[in-house]
């Protein structure tokens, strides 16, 4: 039996997520197993491993393992899968890695050789929390599996942005010296749902003008023409753009300097405030949209309820403004796609964001919009000039497909 299994590895600063796909039929790869490790590097490391079939998931492990690093966690998950006869050494084809920041170097997935790893190291300055963890996963997988390693980058899809969309209006030489430009993130998700939307609409991706909205704890929008990103809301870092769970999104650049002076805060403290204590959490007190919406309806504290309502409205208004901007950038739009935890599962938020787009004849179907968010569905009316879709994203699958393509190129 030929090698056909691809393992997808997504290492965060304190977590490891592994997914295994079988490519015996490359046109329809099968998702066969998953494993996660949480609280890496602490005494409370916890690992869960499951095999997946068309009908159900089988629990292979649920264990508090004691302190493990990324390599130890990956080894533990792989051992569970091998002992169950799922992930076999004679069937391993490659390992695909999600890498958050590719800087200016990577506009497509690459085979991870010494040169690629050195460039990923250079990008640590742009993503100091994420890229070191991604590198730990790469080194661990290289030691464990004698197969090619492929890197897929969250920033690559936005490499097609024109200069006028990615350039900041600061002194040009300064920007060049420090690599300061708009990179964008969530590229794997935006690319996946754009492809899926084209399939659902029955049109070539290259014929569509799309606005994709990835809405989870992190939120970003993307304007897509001819299958390529021409603009996106996140910039040099994931802090720019939409209001998010704990991130401020767009902000007057004078505000951090003022807070440093008035509140006697350091730059690092302001960075922490804008990334971890702002957004929905900063205004409404909670970072999870589900909790926020409950607070708008159920809180007996009038102040808390009003703050939650304000946070919801600021979130939706910011999203509405970005859609309007992208309608102009694209000279119209064929479809708007929602994805991510909020995008897939919060019909109230979708409806509020899409209010007042009568000028492009966008018509939301209220009944369709209430459909459960566990499958692809169109939520606009048949008469709407702009299709609106909610599509569950699958970043692991697109990484697996890209890995397979690199290995077979």
Q: Which residues are catalytic?
A: 154
Q: Which two tokens stand for residue 59?
A: 């629990």
Write a three-state SS string for 135-202: HHHHHHHHHHCCCCEEEEECCHHHHHCCHHHHCCCCCHHHHHHHCCCCCCCCHHHHHHHHHHHHHHHC
Name the DSSP letter for residue 91: T
Which residue's entry shows tokens 């304000």? 310
Distance CA 7, CA 94 (A): 7
End-to-end CA distance of the chain: 21
DSSP 303-321: HHHHHHHHHHHHHHHHHHH
Which residue's entry shows tokens 């060049």? 176
Asked if 96 and 153 count as a contact pair (C-beta separation under 8 A), the reply is no
What are the start-end ranges of the H helices in 84-113?
none
Name the DSSP letter for residue 371: S
Distance CA 304, CA 18 (A): 39
Distance CA 144, CA 36 (A): 17
């Amino acid at each position: 039996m030929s090698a056909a299994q691809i393992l997808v590895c997504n290492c965060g600063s304190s977590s490891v997520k592994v997914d295994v796909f079988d490519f015996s039929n490359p046109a329809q790869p099968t998702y066969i197993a998953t494993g996660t490790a949480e609280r890496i590097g602490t005494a409370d490391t916890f690992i869960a491993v499951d095999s997946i079939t068309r009908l159900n998931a089988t629990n292979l492990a649920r264990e508090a393992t004691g302190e493990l690093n990324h390599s130890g966690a990956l080894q533990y998950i792989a051992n569970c899968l091998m002992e169950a006869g799922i992930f076999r050494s004679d069937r391993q084809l490659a390992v695909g890695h999600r890498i958050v920041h590719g800087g200016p170097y990577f506009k497509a997935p690459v085979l991870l050789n010494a040169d690629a790893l050195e460039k990923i190291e250079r990008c640590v300055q742009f993503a100091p929390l994420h890229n070191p963890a991604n590198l730990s996963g790469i080194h661990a997988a290289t030691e464990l599996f004698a197969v090619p390693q492929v890197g897929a980058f969250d920033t690559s899809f936005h490499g097609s942005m024109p200069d006028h969309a990615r350039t900041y209006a600061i002194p040009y030489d300064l920007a060049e010296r420090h690599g300061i430009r708009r990179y964008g993130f969530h590229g794997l998700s935006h690319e996946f749902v754009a492809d899926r939307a084209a399939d659902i609409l029955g049109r070539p991706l290259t014929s569509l003008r799309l606005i994709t909205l990835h809405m989870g704890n992190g939120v970003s929008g993307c304007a897509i023409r001819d299958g390529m990103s021409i603009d996106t809301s996140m910039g040099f870092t994931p802090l720019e753009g939409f209001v998010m769970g704990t991130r401020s999104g767009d902000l007057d650049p004078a505000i951090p300097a003022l807070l440093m002076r008035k509140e006697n805060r350091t730059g690092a403290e302001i960075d922490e405030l804008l990334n971890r204590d702002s957004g929905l959490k900063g205004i409404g007190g909670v970072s999870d949209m589900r909790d926020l919406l409950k607070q708008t309806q159920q809180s007996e504290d009038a102040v808390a309820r009003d703050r939650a309502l304000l946070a919801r409205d600021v979130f939706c208004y910011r999203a509405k403004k970005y859609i309007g901007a992208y309608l102009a950038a694209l000279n119209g739009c064929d479809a708007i796609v929602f994805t991510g935890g909020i995008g897939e599962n919060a019909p109230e938020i979708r409806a509020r964001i899409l209010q007042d787009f009568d000028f492009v004849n966008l018509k939301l179907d209220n009944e369709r919009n209430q459909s459960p968010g566990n499958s692809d569905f169109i939520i606009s009316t048949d008469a709407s000039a702009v299709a609106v879709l909610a599509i569950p994203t699958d970043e692991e699958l697109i990484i697996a497909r890209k890995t397979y393509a690199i290995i077979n190129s």
